[in-house]
Structure 1
Amino acid sequence: MINSTMVTDFLLMGFSDVLDLRILYAFLFLLMYLATLLGNMLIITATTLDQNLHTPMYFFLRNLSILDMCYISVTVPNACVNSFTNNWAISVAGCAMQIFLVLWFASTELLFLTIMAHDRYVAICQPLHYPFIMNYQFCVRMTLASLFSGLIYAGVQTGNTFRLPFCQSNLVHQFFCDIPSLLRLSCSDTFNNEIVILIFAVVVGGGCFTFIVMSYVHIFSTMLKFTTKEQRKAFSTCIPHILVVSVFLGSGSYVYLRPSVTSETIMDMILSVFYTIVPPFLNPIIYSLRNKQIKKTIKKVILGMFYLKKL
C-alpha cells in the first residue's frame, strides 16, 4: 500500500487487439448506434405529430425513446472513437461521469418499463377506468419521479464507488466504465459497496421485476376471457415489453451481482452490450413493427420528408 501508485486515469478494454477486428466491431457498433437514433427519432416524431397517438401508452413510449437515445449515446460513440484511434484512456472524472449517466439512464429506463407494464394492466384489466387512472397529470408525475429516483440512485452508487482508492492497475475490463470492473481495481475493502449494490438491486430491480410479473399475471388471467382475436391483439402489445425487460434485467443482474473476486471474461463485455446497447436498439424495432398506428404515421412522415426534399 505504501509503495502503490494512485490511479489518475483508466484504460478501457476493446473487444479485440487485432486491427481488422477492432475496426469491424467499431463499424457494427456505429451502425447499431445510428439505427437506434433513427428508429427512436421516428417514434418520437410519429407520437408527437399524430394526434391519435397522444395517449398515455405513447407518452411513455416517446419518453422511453428519448431516454434510449441518451442512454446509448453515453457508451457507444466513445467506444467507436476509441476503436478507430486505438486510444482507450479515460480520465477519472470522465469515468465517474460515464458511470453516473449509465446508472441514471438504466435505472430510469427500468422504472419506465415498470410504469408501461402498469399502463398495459390498466388498459386490459380496467379499460373503463383507464382515462381516469392514466391521466396526463399522473403520467407527468410518474415520469418526473422516475427521473428523480434514477438521479438519486446514480448519485449514491457513483459517489460510493469513487470514494475508494484505486492503485496499481488501471485497466478496466470493459469497453466503458462500470462499477463491477472498478471495484476489482480498488486497493481497499469493497464489501460495503457490494452490500449497497445488492440492497439497491433487491429493492429497485427486484421490486420492479415483481411489479411487472404481477401486472402480467393479472393481464394474462384477464386475457383468458377474451376472444382469440382480442387475445392476439393483447399479446402483440405485451410480449415485446416482456422481451425487452427480460434481456435488460437478465444481463444487467448477471454483470452487477457477480462477486467482485470473480475474474472478468469476454462474456462480461458481451453481456454488457445486452443491457447498454441492445434494449435501446430493439425498442423502436419491436414497438414500431408490431404497431399499425405507428407504422402508418412513420410512413406518412417519411413520405412527407421525401416530398419536401423534391420541392
Structure 2
Amino acid sequence: MDPAQLPALMAFDSVARHGSFTHAAGETGVSPSALSQTIRALETQLNVRLFNRTTRRVALTEAGAQFLERVRPALAALDAAFDSLDEARDHPAGTLRINLPRVASELLVLPHLAEFTLAYPHIRLELALDDGLADLVGEGFDAGIRLGERVAQDMVAVPLSSEVRIAVVGSPAYFVRLPKPGTPDDLAAHNCLRYRFLTSGGIYRWEFAQPGNAQRVFEVETQGSFVTNDLRTMVRAAEDGVGLLHVIDDYVREQIEDGRLVRVLGEWCPSFPGFYLYTASRAQMPLKLRALIDFLVMKRREREGR
C-alpha cells in the first residue's frame, strides 16, 4: 500500500459510516467538495467505484462494501496503536464510539457529559443514537448501551441502572375526550402513538404483564394515527393530547409529576432489567473505554445513594 493513500482510506471509512459527504466532512475537518474529490481520486487509483451517489444518498457499492470490510480492521488497528501510546503513559485518550438509544443517551449520558469531558479532555466521545441493535465490531463501535433483555449473552455487560418500569401516559386533555383504559384490551378504542424501528421497519408492540404475575409478559399490537421513530417527538405529541404513549417511566417522570401527563394501566406495566453498557470482549480493554465505564458506574451509585 502507498502510505500516501492513508488519508484517503480514512476519508473512505468516514463517508461509509456517515452515508453522507457533508456529515463526514464535519468529522474530518474538510469541505464536502474536497472530500468528494479525495474519494474520486481513490476510486481512480483503485480503478473501482466505491460509492453510488445520488442527490439525496451516498451508498457503498458491492465492491466498496467488500473493500471496507478488509480496510476497516486495519484502520482500527492503527487508531488503537496511536491510542496505546497515550495509554502507555496511563493517559486515556482517543475516539470512543458508543451506540445507544436516545432514551439511554438522555437519561444516562447527557446529564453528565460536561463532567466527563472535563475529566477526560483527551477522549473524543462519539454517540451514535440508534434504537436498533448495532453490529459493534462490524460498524466500528467500542461499546453499546441497551436494556438488559436486548444484550446478547456472549457480550461483556456492565449494569448502568437498576430495573426500569414501563408507563402508559396521556394528557389531561386527552382523557377529557376519552375514558381512561382499565385493561390493555381497552387500548383498541384509543389513539396510540406508535414507534417504528428504522433498522427493521417494524412497529413496536406494547408490552404488559398480568397484574400480580410480572413473569407473564405479553404484547399488544396497538393502532393510532401517528407513527414516528423519535421518542422526544412522541412525548411532545402525548403532552399535546394526540394520543397515549408507552415509554420508560423515567423518561416522562417530570411530566407525570407536574401533571402534564397522567399515568394509566399502572398495575399492567412491568419492570425490565435496566440499561447495560456492553462490549464484545474484556481482553485488553482500552483505557478510554474503562474510563467511561467507571464514570457511568460511579454516576449510577450517586443516583442510587450507594
Query: Normalization by structure 2: what TM-score?
Result: 0.22
More helix by share: 1
Greater gyration radius: 2
Query: Normalization by structure 1: what TM-score?
Result: 0.21
